[in-house]
Structure 1
Amino acid sequence: MEGRADERRGTGPGKVPLIGRQDVLQVLTESLEATATGAFQLLAFAGDPGAGKTRLLTELAAVASAGEMLVLSGRAAEFEQQMPFAALVDAIDDHLEGHRPSLAPEAVPLLAAVFPALTPAAAATGAAGFAPHDDGAPGRVARYQLHRAVRHLLEVLASDTGLVLLLDDLHWADEASVELLDYLMRHPPRARVLVAMSYRPAQVSPRLATLVNSANEHGSTIPVNPLSAAEVEEFLGPQISRSRRRALYKASGGNPFYLEALARMEQTGTPGGEETPELWGAVPEMRDLMELPPAVRSALQMELGSLGQTALLVAQAAAVAADEFEPGIAAVGAELPEQEALAGLDELVARDIVRPAAAGRFRFRHPLVRHVAYGSAAAGWRLGAHTRIAHHLTALGAPATLRAHHVERSAGYGDQAAVATLVEAAREVGPQAPGTAAHWLESALRLLPEVPAAGTAADGDGASDDGEQISRLGLLMELVHVQTVSGRLSEGRETARELVRLLPADDHARRARAVQLCAVIERQLHRHQEARALVLDELHRMPDPQAAPAVLLRVRLVADRLMRVDIRGAQAVLDHIPDEGGDWQPGLKEAVASLRVLPAYAGLRIPEAIQHAEAADRVLTAAPDGSLAECLDTLPWLCWTEVMMGRYDDALRHLDRIIDIARATGQASFITYMLTARARACRELGRLPEAARAAEEATEVSRMMRSSEGLVFGLTQQSLAAGQAGDLDQALLFGEEAVRADPGSGESWGASARYALGVAMVASGQVDAGVDTLMEACGDPAAPMLDPAVLLDCAELMAKISADRGRQKEAHTWAEIADGIAHPMLQSATGIARLAGAHAAREEDSELAARLAVEAAEALRSVGRRIDAGRADMLAGITHHAAGRSEQAREALRAAAATFEDCGATSLHAQALREQRRAGIRVSTRPGTGSRGETPFGLSPREYEVAVLVADGCTNQQIAGKLFLSVRTVETHLSRVFSKLGVGSRVGVATVMNRNSGDQGP
């Protein structure tokens, strides 16, 4: 329970024994035991206001502390709901300084964007001051990078004794905090960490509710229900008569805090004797904090009313100031000398209205008490208190993020200084908490006059450094951006449309930019027709179709057609766009150059595509970063095409620069496409860890933006990277989620998701279903949805599958298709086509197959496609062995095995080892000799468990029971075990598993 101030029993506040909840205590104990073993745990306490959630968190803290675990606690607050990461900062910030040396150096500047204790000036200012704004402090920090840094921080904090992180009242948490928790649930800290949170179900955000409901793997939700009648009697004790206990139970509904408030009312001598409990009425069901039951509100108001005038003023000022306040701030808000305020504070502590917190600060004993104290003050007085506190914080040099809370509650219409503060705060938190930034920009716009004052510009881009008046149009543009990156796409669309509405009809340059932005958002909302109609309508309004604003909109049309794989349509638009113009704004020349490459490549006009790629490289190399920042939505098309063409060095050089620019300028809405292009390039180059990291970041950014298009892109690359690394279970999961995330767009990204899933299914032994999925991905041969490079990879895979099945005619057909797609000027494509031909010739002409495989390996190795070169080496080894050329076979197979091991391609490495044994090469199969040093034979840990149990004579049903799997899942794992061990039966598995571990060779 929240605990009662029971002076009659002499226990004092916070020391009342816990009543009931024995089942909850058992869950707490089990969760702490699970955490002690290294398993991340989540506990969520859900209940109405005053139900006892905080008391249960306190009980958990006591048990964890007794077990010598580090316990950190913080809470969100009703009146500071827009403070980014407030609960987390409250819990952790005071404990950071001693852990700074243990943090990874690259994590400190990221974390400093959130935690004041880690800012460069924190040590110099001391606990009571504020660090001045530091222009050298970390600027824009990508949210995903910050999330990883926080996970690292939790791992460091937990490294010695384990960590219990208590986060109270998360129904008031800001969007950024919930987003971070969502990340931690999907990527748990790799340490002994337990996160316990509390929230009110009726007030919780949908995202937090979804997060809690989906966290069953890591923990549980604990409903905190009212006390029973018997528990209420035990809570109140025998000093109160039975009739009074029953009356209090009826009036409180068993809610511990309400019960305590009503009991306190009696102790202060307020009305409500034996004959009057019915006057209080029954406690209604709680749906919102503002619906505090009248009896409880009256009780709390009477408790406050019994205070002296000074103490009441301090309580009201403290309620205005902050959830955790310093005496000096309360004195400012109350307009009292500090000594007088301290005397009032002493009375508040003595009456248990507030309680001491850390570092000389104080807190109300419960958020409901603060709520009533805030509401007890007159509205005009509250406005003045917020104003006084805002001015005081400004004088102390507090950052705008601390002042904004008070400014938005006290500023008047047209207050330019207040607008500037809100805009400054929005810009400071925008990269880490765009939802909060949007809130503060909206507040600034409400204060900003519709028509600017005489003599001021109406078309600025926000506040300038010299204090120039802020422009409504500039703020609207900023608001669109933060709404978009925070996932509030519908709101962003409405803001963008308002921006277009406000711009003069003849202001074509800015209207084109606004329409382009609006069209991008419409696309992300899957309103493709509306996006095209918007662009075309604006184009028709423009008098000069060749002017820079019209070209900007035509560029948008080209990108739209490319996404729909309308190559002819895209080329038709490009044919009417010059390479440059005298009135072009920065970025337009680079955008046009970037878009010319893909239509030529997709149309198999390879010499022309190479010329365009080389020209685009020259343009981008010469362009300043500022120009590229203006066209980030078009640059991914160039990078993706460079990857498709096997121009990996150019692609990665451009991608790394563009990603840096996107992060520096906060344009997260475009970064997904660049990260997925980087993931594809790294995957094809055999840099699998890099590919996995880039794809994961793309997926996380898309989740934060709630972009299904970006999510499909990211998951597709995660699936393909996991499959090449040998994690077939994960490849299937990523592929399935990618297909589910596609809303049926009928565009290229949906087809790519089906291709990735088909590849994973084939690798997992689901060959027939995988082939069907691959064919669905390819679509109509006359109008394929996949790009030529992926179509070529698909044809090579189908040639292999057909050859493996003994369908030589079918294999030759696929090899011919591959040969028709490949162009001799592209070594990457030539190598894949040769590999497809080698598959087709494998059974009929081993010498031809070996020659084609060697040529494929050379071509693929020349462009850096190491894993595909290794596959070609392995096929060359197999066919050399079939032709009786043992030495060439051994050399090729050794090269393949070394390549796969170096790249971390475990399944392929296991297959190469198997082929080496077949060729008479003795290789190690001892445990720990896999490429990751985890399990033998290239088996995944789960596959190895299944193989061991098979060797022990267990049936599939018995294995399923021992490993808590379905029989079907066991069968799937077993089929992979057969493939990796090169056997066709359970007896073969047992033979290999029991083989002498000394089977070694050179």
Structure 2
Amino acid sequence: MDGRTDQQRAERPRPAGHGPGRPAAGRGPDERDAEPTGQVPLVGRADVLHLLEESLDHAAAGAFRFVALAGEPGAGKTRLLGELTSGAASRKLAVSSGRAAEFEQEMPFGAVVDALDDHLEEHLPDLGPATVKLLVPVFPALAAVVQGTMPTLIGNTPVARYQLYRAVRRLLEQLAAEDGLVLILDDVHWADEATIELLDYLVRHPPRARVMIAVAFRPAQASARLAALVEASVQGGCGHRVRVRPLSEDEVAQLLGPNVTATRCRELFEASGGNPFYLEALARSGEPLAEGPQVGDLPPAVRAALQMELTGLSADALRVAQGAAVAADEFAPALAAVAAEVTEPVALSALDELVARDIVRPSAERFRFRHPLVRHAVYGSAAAGWRLAAHARIAAYQADIGAPAAVRARHVERSGRVGDRAAIATLVEAGRAYATQAPVTAAHWLKAALRLMPENAPAEVGLPSRLDLLMELAQVQSVGGALSDGRETARTLLRLLPADAYERRAKAARLAALMERQLDRPHEARSLLLDELRNMPDPRSPAAIPLRMRLVAERTMRLEFRAAQAVLDLMPDDSDDWEPSLKVAVAALRPMPAFAGGRVADALRYAEAADRLLHTAPNEHLADWMDAIAWLCWAETMLGRYRTAARHFERALDVARDTGQLYVVTNLLAGLARSYGTLGNLAQAASAAEDSVEEARLVASGQQMVFALTQQSLVATWSGSEETALRHADEAVAVGAGVGEWWGSMAHYARAMALFGLGRQDEGVQSVMKATNGFESPTLDQRTLLSCAETLAQVEAGRGHPDLALQWAERARHMRLEGVDSNNALADLARAHALLGSDPAEAARAAITAAEALEAAGERIDAGRARLRAGTAYAEAGDRKAARDHLRIAADTFQACGARTLHGQAAREQRRVGVRVPAPGGRGSGPGGLSKREYEVASLVAEGFTNSQIAERLFVSVRTVETHLSHIFAKLGVTSRVGVVSALNRGEPGQD
């Protein structure tokens, strides 16, 4: 037994796959899909079979593979997936298969649940409680085993989707741990958006195990996102897109065999167009081929052939078939009986007839149509009114057995009537169940509920009002990345709300403005806020505060600091008629405009006051104003208060996730990555940056993508993965959002840092000038501008241009602001770079001054860089003992942080002053201490192979190659692929 009740078995379509560790025997991706009397021969697919075999070999050797079979309905994709199953079995690879269904497209993760759900219970101990908690809302089998967990988790605990997708990846790794895993998903053109998002995540972050994913879809019905992820898999080197073409006339003749005349073969070929399913249906009929216009998805001759199959059925069998088509892709006899209004014994007898006629095929206690097109034809053969009543009967039956609203919703939607309170309640409950895990599905159910709600419907017991439901819908759409739809929903709500409903209007306007901002439409956001404020009789009332605060944020983003300050000046710090949370929110907003306006002392005072308020405020006081809290956190980073910023970012993330406010999670994660990275916690920074990017991709906001990718690029540069850093920065710049704003300029800054790390100095200088607008009216913050000037001083000093280096150091000196010592330390470091050649002793003193200020602030990466410069300066001055001391501190700092390239540079400088630094590779390693695998990668680099080609050759992921390269750069003391080639040619580490 699998731990589920009969009730739960009846609530959902059954999974269709083989479990891990139980390979199929070669009769298709599912035993139930095989022809009862044996399959027809497979012809004309040698090229596809070769590619599938090759992909299986790669997967068996440890390389992730993604294969997409694209073909029209009936082209033979499912049969080819069956051959893939046989190939997997011959390699001892486990197989799990499932498929999406035409009439169940609203079921979140339907195909994945179909494939995996029956095989999870045995793996519970290995997954760990945190992973299981994330997976329970998706997989019914886990919910049944983890007693009492499902309702609580689905209803009350929002989960960021990227966390869920990571948990599924962990699940696949666990399932593949022993035998490997081939996950087969058929008909994914019908898959819900959450499934496509999950596949996209897995392609970009492949499971670290012997896993192959194969999907089949109809290209004409594929979503743009599905097409994009298939293309991304091909471009990334792990995927293949295979076109399953129609059969040729010769192949049709071969398939039909010698007993069919040449005339009949030609007739069947022309009528079927070489489509195997059409050909089979027409050959089954044995009748003259009908002609006429194509109707719907099927050619007229094929439609006629399928209808002929149905006309030969008894009345009971036809009715049960139609009920089954309404019920589910894979159905239990009881459900088909309910839909058909027959007793279960009658249904069972009818199913025997349907199996004998190969309309449906059995699998244990359930049945499935032999092909989705057969179900489509059967469903269409039933009268529309009868289908509506059948959906109603199923919905009532499922309610009687206690099926969750999310399971009943599909049938309720198709049978509910306007004003049906029970139907509306079911749809609302279903929408709320998936608001964070599958927001696109949630929005679908909420919109369905709205269609059944009468105009101006008031709130009732157990039901929200129409206006409240519109607000819920807008919020779900924003979480799901449907920003344009969410904006329109919020604007519709504003049109419907009474003019004097000031608080509700303010909430709706604030939400709409947030989405306008994320759509990179700042002018529309500001106009919306100003219009609402003008319509308020008292612009200083508590109801106006949300609008004013959003307006401050908008103007700050646009660098209109005086305007932002003017709005803040009209707001007191507190008021008797304010909610307690408003005091916290206003305090959180004050530091940023003050700092941006040059009032550093005020900004620091405001930040301290906000910190004290946050320390004592409960989480519910933060929950209503997450965007204001985010501004405080970012202001703290710009003030050099990174420890405090990290603490506040962490708490804000917890609150945002607990309350389902995932729209702000990307921003908070990006800030956390910046804080962790500056503090030298690079592993944590990389994780936060990756999470930020994942959430940004799901929200589909250009602004959020730039924020996230910029921080991911900077963390990669600090970590020594400069090529990866440049790729992230290039993507951020290519998004094209944020022109003229701080975050848009930050993308160019990140690109410059990556280019400098790769030794591409001229391009790096150009990117710095782009980021800073040539230092004329720059949009960057003081800390970043100082970093630009300090970096340029270092670059010019390294090029042998001391005069230019001194000019940049002098520019940095003029950027100093009283009160932000750790920021100002970069000016001292710039001076140290500039003086290295002319006055190394003074350069060392300037570097030590910078190091001490940075260390006091906990900014370990830059502190290590300052110690490195002090060490090299002392070496130039002839003080080898001082040089060794500072270089040791620098090397230890970089090693502790995980800054590989910087650590390699420090180790090289230590060798130059006589310190014996052991090669990281130890005894028996290659040049520069490279390990055997690193030497393999380096040798392929020297041969001119790209990262993707190296990954293909060594059967590893591109990301693994990038990690090896970063280690190689650090060990060889180089910063580019050219440097690797030079070092290998010399046979020893050195500079490129």
Taking structure 2 as the reference length, what is the TM-score of the superposition?
Answer: 0.90
Partner of 1:1000: none
Q: Conserved in 2, the CA contact under 8 Å of 1:151 and 1:184?
A: yes
Q: Conserved in 1, the CA contact under 8 Å of 2:904 and 2:971?
A: no
Distance 1:657 1:263 in 2: 66
Partner of 1:301: 307
Classify 1:586/1:700 alpha carbon distance in 2 versus 1 (closer, same or farther; 3 Å).
farther
Classify 1:944/1:123 alpha carbon distance in 2 versus 1 (closer, same or farther; 3 Å).
closer
Match 1:154 to one of 145, 156, 172: 172
Equivalence map 1:730-879=2 (5 Å): 730-743=724-737, 745-779=739-773, 781=775, 783-879=777-873
Match 1:439 to one of 437, 444, 448: 444
Larger relative contact order (Cα-Cα within 8 Å, sequence gap ≥ 6): 2
Equivalence map 1:81-120=2 (5 Å): 81-119=105-143
Distance 1:985 1:707 in 2: 38
Partner of 2:559: 565
Displacement after TM superposition at 1:135 (Å): 6.1
Instruction: Say if 2:254 is the partner of 1:234.
Output: yes
Tell me the amino acid that sits aligned with residue 304 of structure 1: L
Distance 1:802 1:46 in 2: 54
Partner of 2:956: none
Match 1:670 to one of 664, 668, 671: 664
Q: Conserved in 2, the CA contact under 8 Å of 1:51 and 1:224?
A: yes
Partner of 2:624: 630
Q: Conserved in 2, the CA contact under 8 Å of 1:171 and 1:203?
A: yes
Q: Conserved in 2, the CA contact under 8 Å of 1:53 and 1:198?
A: yes
Classify 1:833/1:80 alpha carbon distance in 2 versus 1 (closer, same or farther; 3 Å).
same
Tell me the amino acid that sits aligned with residue 163 of structure 1: L
Displacement after TM superposition at 1:89 (Å): 0.3
Instruction: Say if 2:289 is the partner of 1:264.
Output: no
304-313 or 56-65, which deviates more: 304-313
Partner of 2:356: 350
Q: Conserved in 2, the CA contact under 8 Å of 1:586 and 1:626?
A: no
- Structure 1 residues 861-895: Cα deviation after superposition (integer angstroms, max 9, x where no partner): 11111111111111111122222222221111111
Q: Conserved in 2, the CA contact under 8 Å of 1:937 and 1:980?
A: no
Instruction: Say if 2:384 is the partner of 1:375.
Output: no
- Structure 1 residues 701-759: Cα deviation after superposition (integer angstroms, max 9, x where no partner): 11111111110111111111111111111011111111111236321111000000011
Equivalence map 1:282-361=2 (5 Å): 290-357=296-363, 359-361=364-366
Distance 2:950 2:81 in 1: 36
Tell me the amino acid that sits aligned with residue 437 of structure 1: A
Displacement after TM superposition at 1:767 (Å): 0.6
Tell me the amino acid that sits aligned with residue 280 of structure 1: E
Equivalence map 1:862-941=2 (5 Å): 862-925=856-919, 927=921, 937=928
Displacement after TM superposition at 1:14 (Å): 4.8
Displacement after TM superposition at 1:676 (Å): 0.6
SS at match of 2:96: strand
Match 2:222 to one of 204, 207, 214: 204
Displacement after TM superposition at 1:581 (Å): 2.5
Instruction: Say if 2:187 is the partner of 1:169.
Output: yes
Q: Conserved in 2, the CA contact under 8 Å of 1:565 and 1:785?
A: yes
Distance 2:694 2:931 in 1: 26
SS at match of 1:569: helix
Equivalence map 1:503-652=2 (5 Å): 503-585=497-579, 587-652=581-646
Classify 1:176/1:869 alpha carbon distance in 2 versus 1 (closer, same or farther; 3 Å).
same
Instruction: Say if 2:693 is the partner of 1:699.
Output: yes
Classify 1:781/1:53 alpha carbon distance in 2 versus 1 (closer, same or farther; 3 Å).
same
Instruction: Say if 2:398 is the partner of 1:393.
Output: yes
How many matched pairs? 948
Partner of 1:269: none
Partner of 2:265: 245
Instruction: Say if 2:704 is the partner of 1:727.
Output: no
Partner of 1:122: 145
Equivalence map 1:469-484=2 (5 Å): 469-484=463-478
Distance 1:200 1:435 in 2: 21
Match 2:244 to one of 201, 220, 224: 224
Classify 1:593/1:352 alpha carbon distance in 2 versus 1 (closer, same or farther; 3 Å).
same
Partner of 2:43: 19
SS at match of 2:182: strand
Q: Conserved in 2, the CA contact under 8 Å of 1:89 and 1:115?
A: yes
Tell me the amino acid that sits aligned with residue 746 of structure 1: G
Displacement after TM superposition at 1:962 (Å): 9.7
SS at match of 1:291: coil
- Structure 1 residues 583-625: Cα deviation after superposition (integer angstroms, max 9, x where no partner): 3346432222111101222233222111100111122223332
338-347 or 973-982, which deviates more: 973-982
Distance 1:598 1:938 in 2: 48
Classify 1:324/1:928 alpha carbon distance in 2 versus 1 (closer, same or farther; 3 Å).
farther
SS at match of 1:980: coil
Q: Conserved in 1, the CA contact under 8 Å of 2:558 and 2:741?
A: yes
Tell me the amino acid that sits aligned with residue 302 of structure 1: M
Partner of 2:196: 178
Match 1:73 to one of 97, 102, 111: 97
Distance 1:946 1:235 in 2: 48
SS at match of 1:215: helix
Any gaps of 5 or more consecutive residues in structure 2? 1-25, 29-33, 954-961
Distance 1:960 1:382 in 2: 52
53-62 or 212-221, which deviates more: 212-221
SS at match of 2:526: helix
SS at match of 2:129: coil
Q: Conserved in 1, the CA contact under 8 Å of 2:739 and 2:745?
A: no
Q: Conserved in 2, the CA contact under 8 Å of 1:81 and 1:173?
A: yes
SS at match of 1:779: helix
Q: Conserved in 2, the CA contact under 8 Å of 1:84 and 1:436?
A: yes
Any gaps of 5 or more consecutive residues in structure 1? 4-9, 126-130, 267-271, 453-457, 997-1002
Distance 1:470 1:420 in 2: 9
Distance 1:347 1:746 in 2: 70
Q: Conserved in 2, the CA contact under 8 Å of 1:947 and 1:993?
A: no
Instruction: Say if 2:59 is the partner of 1:35.
Output: yes
Q: Conserved in 1, the CA contact under 8 Å of 2:928 and 2:988?
A: no
Q: Conserved in 1, the CA contact under 8 Å of 2:789 and 2:812?
A: yes
Tell me the amino acid that sits aligned with residue 160 of structure 2: A
Tell me the amino acid that sits aligned with residue 377 of structure 2: V
- Structure 1 residues 448-503: Cα deviation after superposition (integer angstroms, max 9, x where no partner): 00022xxxxx4x5xx7xxx3432111111111111112221221121111000001
SS at match of 1:133: helix
Instruction: Say if 2:486 is the partner of 1:492.
Output: yes
SS at match of 1:352: coil
Distance 1:988 1:68 in 2: 44
Classify 1:983/1:251 alpha carbon distance in 2 versus 1 (closer, same or farther; 3 Å).
closer
- Structure 1 residues 759-812: Cα deviation after superposition (integer angstroms, max 9, x where no partner): 111111111110111021112645321111111222221221222223333323
SS at match of 1:432: coil
Partner of 1:999: none
Q: Conserved in 2, the CA contact under 8 Å of 1:712 and 1:750?
A: yes
Displacement after TM superposition at 1:987 (Å): 11
Distance 1:223 1:100 in 2: 38
32-41 or 935-944, which deviates more: 935-944
Q: Conserved in 1, the CA contact under 8 Å of 2:969 and 2:976?
A: no
Classify 1:721/1:31 alpha carbon distance in 2 versus 1 (closer, same or farther; 3 Å).
same
Displacement after TM superposition at 1:311 (Å): 1.4
Displacement after TM superposition at 1:315 (Å): 0.8
Displacement after TM superposition at 1:366 (Å): 0.6
Displacement after TM superposition at 1:823 (Å): 3.7
Q: Conserved in 2, the CA contact under 8 Å of 1:907 and 1:939?
A: no
Displacement after TM superposition at 1:627 (Å): 2.5
Tell me the amino acid that sits aligned with residue 101 of structure 1: P
